[in-house]
Structure 1
């Protein structure tokens, strides 16, 4: 997921052409390395502890190329390529996918931006980071079984983002299923709107994924996710509140989640606070509650996060999370040897401590 990934201008190449018309082009090479060490309880067979190196405490490490060409008249051609990797061993973050974090090209102007390729949904663009805290070993909401689509990247998409007017902005993304003889098989769409003005932010999105199974076995089942988030900033204090509702009509091949054996309905709520204690140190506290109403089970996560900036590009990270399963829930912070959905054991609890360093370039 693209949480907290910001593009710097560490390496910029600008090309100019002389003549009556002069088109300016720029390419920015940038990225992030996010790694450290962690301690987690109740992994393995469900009763073992684990100490080891970690990848992606707050976001997936990556290196990327972003470019823009001035085509004249306020129109620009743009592209974005991001390759995710694991710093602990140098492997790709997604096996077999070089540009797994972004792979798009398009046009932008005062009328908005239209891009094509492998792209993040609006949940990740607008709500993850601003409302829902990220992290891959620390209980982020998108790690829950039914809620991966709170932060998801989709193949074969076309995406439009409107210009911002008076704080309002909207967008729509459509994903082609690529199945012969059927437009609906594997189809994805995501629509969103947000308002950001002064200290206040609110955003809402709706995702719909169609079963991508090809042939007579296609079930026609769908995954629907509605996500709402808001935040309010008062000086050094930021208050956050978000909620998501997932409705999965039955088994199927979906991009964002593994196939579930039966239909599921669930909701999740996250409340959080960020406080800037000093210009260099920010602390955060979050509580997440997940309820599967179909199976009548629930999961709670309590999380503390501290980020200390050594410079504009380098930060130290400390993250402490506690996960509690109830009524047979099998969610996890770090996957165990369990084959259950969620990666954990029924009613199992986990505590995870991560200490790391994050450098952007």
Structure 2
């Protein structure tokens, strides 16, 4: 059957191929604006308290463009461009970079999707469903903690290729990031993977993340590994229980191996269609790192004004254990610099999705 292009004459001049009539495409603008007022104690070297306005309480403020083109035969082309913003002052979340959250293009069909660009890692994708606070900026200890900012897995990878496949209840994710270093193919490279199996309301997942540092003058590079195991049980339409374990291991080019573990768990309960309460706990055990063990508890209430707008209140308390001599590593409810063995954070905010 002969197909006609509406702009055939233009295509003949420009050399642009004629698109089949059945092909369809769409571009969607979306985003989240989340702003709050936060109170923190022990927020300065003098032990003082802080009251401030923040961007991002339950979600990071952002906007993005998502496009899909139907190529026919169950095949699609897609792209995602997403920029983080600071809703309290209008600046970019990352100075000098516009689409700092995602910039990817790819193809998808029944066998999965394959994409390239700046993308979330497999570990980040997997753990998002199992963190009770869902990566809320206020407050969770993923991917960093208030006592050890460096004990973190990579949230995103530049120069990456990523595969995602859904096969019944099984989801598979794999990623690879090119280091781009002529001195060594392995220098600054990274890769990871994740498996998730969902049986009705119960799901379990495993994830792995491996990163190489940049090669040094001796021809060596550091190696960072993270792996996690987690579960989630949506008991009924109101109650969800979730938790898991994440392990961090760093092999530096010099010095001792660093090892740490993070245990996490929590519950979410929907008291009414418009009101949800979340309770979460995080415990970090530092096995070989020269910092205290630390614990944080969080309680968060979320009230829906509509399908797109909600009000929330969150309170968190973090504390570090002390060494035998009474010393300790400062701990905070966020990944910012802390100045005491404990900290309390309280935030009240509003979030709107579009």
State the TM bucket, normalised to the shorter chain.
0.7 to 0.9
Matched, 1:324 2:303: no
Structure-2 change in CA distance of 1:47 and 1:238 (3 Å): same
Structure-2 change in CA distance of 1:251 and 1:85 (3 Å): farther
User: How far apart are 1:348 and its partner, in Å?
Assistant: 1.7
Q: Equivalent residue for 1:25?
A: 25
Report how many residues are paired: 328
Q: Equivalent residue for 1:108?
A: 108
TM-score by length of 1: 0.86
Alignment of 1:124-273 (within 5 A): 124-133=124-133, 134-144=135-145, 145-149=149-153, 152-162=155-165, 164-212=166-214, 214-216=215-217, 219-235=220-236, 236-250=238-252, 263-273=257-267
Q: Equivalent residue for 1:340?
A: none
Q: Determine if contact 1:43/1:335 at 8 Å carries over to the other structure.
A: no
Report the Cα distance in structure 2 between the residues aligned to 1:330 and 1:121, rounded to whole angstroms. Answer: 29
Structure-2 change in CA distance of 1:335 and 1:225 (3 Å): closer
Q: Equivalent residue for 1:292?
A: 286
1:280 aligned to 274, 282, 287, which one?
Answer: 274
1:351 aligned to 314, 331, 344, which one?
Answer: 344
Q: Determine if contact 1:17/1:24 at 8 Å carries over to the other structure.
A: no
Report the Cα distance in structure 1 between the residues aligned to 2:335 and 2:60, rounded to whole angstroms. Answer: 17
User: How far apart are 1:55 and its partner, in Å?
Assistant: 1.3
User: How far apart are 1:123 and its partner, in Å?
Assistant: 2.4
User: How far apart are 1:217 and its partner, in Å?
Assistant: 5.3
Q: Determine if contact 1:325/1:349 at 8 Å carries over to the other structure.
A: yes
Alignment of 1:79-94 (within 5 A): 79-94=79-94
Q: Equivalent residue for 1:7?
A: none
Which structure is larger by alpha-carbon Rg, 1 or 2? Answer: 2
Q: Equivalent residue for 1:12?
A: none
Name the SS for the 1:124 alignment partner. helix
Report the Cα distance in structure 2 between the residues aligned to 1:251 and 1:42, rounded to whole angstroms. Answer: 35
Report the Cα distance in structure 2 between the residues aligned to 1:282 and 1:178, rounded to whole angstroms. Answer: 45
Specify every segment of 5 or more residues in structure 1 that has no aligned partner in the other structure, as ranges: 1-15, 253-260, 337-342
Structure-2 change in CA distance of 1:132 and 1:264 (3 Å): farther
Name the SS for the 2:181 alignment partner. coil
Name the SS for the 1:277 alignment partner. strand
Report the Cα distance in structure 2 between the residues aligned to 1:221 and 1:143, rounded to whole angstroms. Answer: 19
Name the SS for the 2:124 alignment partner. helix
User: How far apart are 1:201 and its partner, in Å?
Assistant: 1.1
**Larger displacement relative to structure 2 (124-133 or 182-191):** 124-133
User: How far apart are 1:287 and its partner, in Å?
Assistant: 1.0
Report the Cα distance in structure 2 between the residues aligned to 1:335 and 1:55, rounded to whole angstroms. Answer: 15
The CA RMSD measured in Å over matched residues stands at 2.0
For each residue in 1:91-138, what CA deviation from the matched residue of structure 2 results, as whole angstroms up to 9, or x when unmatched?
Answer: 110111100110000000011100000000122223214434222232
Specify every segment of 5 or more residues in structure 2 that has no aligned partner in the other structure, as ranges: 7-18, 323-327
Matched, 1:119 2:114: no
Report the Cα distance in structure 1 between the residues aligned to 2:338 and 2:35, rounded to whole angstroms. Answer: 24
User: How far apart are 1:240 and its partner, in Å?
Assistant: 0.6
